[in-house]
Amino acid sequence: MTSTLSSLVNHQVRLASRPVGLPNADNWQFSSEPVAEPGAGGVLVKTLALSLDPAMRGWMNEGKSYIPPVGIGEVMRAGGVGVVIASQHPDFAVGDHVAGGAGVQEYFSVAGDQIQRSGLSRIDLRLGTLTQWLNVLGMPGMTAYFGLMDVGQPQPGDTVVVSGAAGAVGQTVGQLAKILGCRVVGIAGGPAKCEWVVRELGFDACIDYKAPPPPGAGRWDPVGVGLKQHCPKGVDVYFDNVGGDILDAVLARLARGARIVVCGAISQYNNTTAVQGPKNYLSLLVNRARMQGMVVFDYAGRYPQAVAELAVYLKDGRMKSREDVVEGGVAAFPEALNRLFSGRNFGKLVLQVAEA
């Protein structure tokens, strides 16, 4: 194995500078280095696919958050799936498929004393495909599961609204809520996504926030109109991935005792001015409602149980998934990431790094 490894080159994408607004080419630098044999207890992984997530934009910023920022000059943080190509660890064998903190690079290694802390774990391709392990069975699925179950706490019959409905987290949130017996309304951009969410995923309705005004329309508010139409009893649970105007529109339609899960705010991540605060937040008071943030890492101890449950739904067909796989390897990362911010991805955005 040693002779093979020494000939491998690891191509990487590093953070060159902190973006102002939407990331551009100047914020990234490409590097390469030889692949090294793992040390005692360590594992070396060839990355097959990377997860591209809205949260990455936050990791590029300076300042306190739920996780330290990526340092300038460091390989960009990313979750990924791959195959073990060298191992000095008893729990990992060459050929095992794994998920872990890959970074935007072609190979990653985890030192022996970091295995536990890194969260490196074997994945079972009988439970889901490689890309599903980055989606329903990965971080987005865990985020959807614990955000909805623990924070949103939906009851059968509740009206659940989810934004970014065709995205990685949204698709699982909505399908889970349907399984729980809720009325589910998605919000997504464009007729193709909305149609898919309703026809394929079985949501009760989907509101196209990009819908053009009908001829002769005055002030045009497709989300407000859609919520009024599809949530006649108000919104009991809102799973928010987008923030901004859509959050305000939902706040205006809350049912009494509503729960808002603050999962993300992709509409605000590239702002060069202050985040848009929800001007309708006093609806929380009127409706005795709450708005609560969540970070998926807090639930790490319960991932296996959620994975097991979601894998059952995948197998029996109650849960579908869609991944939008971008080819081109790590070199394609900068452009691929930005698709998230214009809504050009359709489904969980994945960067293919090598053929499985």
Residues 6+ apart with CB under 8 A from 103: 12, 75, 76, 77, 78, 80
57 or 322: CB nearest a second copy: 57
Subset of 201-260 contacting a second copy (CB under 8 A): 243, 248
170 forms part of the interface with a second copy (CB under 8 A): no
Subset of 261-290 contacting a second copy (CB under 8 A): 262-265, 268, 274-290
Q: How far is the CB of 24 from a second copy (least distance, A)?
A: 23
Structure-block tokens of residue 86? 């060298």
Q: How far is the CB of 31 from a second copy (least distance, A)?
A: 30
Q: How far is the CB of 143 from a second copy (least distance, A)?
A: 11
Neighbouring C-beta atoms of residue 297, cutoff 10 Å? 13
Total of residues contacting a second copy (CB under 8 A): 33
Distance CA 8, CA 90 (A): 24
Site string for a second copy, 291-330 (x = CB under 8 A): xxxxx--x--------------------------------
Neighbouring C-beta atoms of residue 193, cutoff 10 Å? 26
Taking CB under 8 A as the binding criterion, the range among 8-16, 58-66, 99-107, 322-330 that sits at the site for a second copy is 58-66
- Local structure of 148: helix, strand or coil: helix
Alpha-helix runs per DSSP H in 180-317:
191-199, 222-230, 244-251, 283-286, 303-316
Distance CA 32, CA 9 (A): 6
* Residue 322 contacts residue 346 (beta carbons within 8 Å): yes
Q: How far is the CB of 70 from a second copy (least distance, A)?
A: 16
290 or 344: CB nearest a second copy: 290
* Residue 45 contacts residue 109 (beta carbons within 8 Å): yes
Question: How wide is the angle at C-alpha 300 spanned by C-alphas 93 and 43, nearest 5°?
Answer: 20
Q: How far is the CB of 295 from a second copy (least distance, A)?
A: 6
* Residue 185 contacts residue 230 (beta carbons within 8 Å): yes
130 or 289: CB nearest a second copy: 289
Distance CA 312, CA 159 (A): 24
Q: How far is the CB of 189 from a second copy (least distance, A)?
A: 21
Site string for a second copy, 59-98 (x = CB under 8 A): -----xxx--------------------------------
108 or 269: CB nearest a second copy: 269
Q: Can you give the binding site for a second copy, defined by CB under 8 A? A: 64-66, 243, 248, 262-265, 268, 274-295, 298
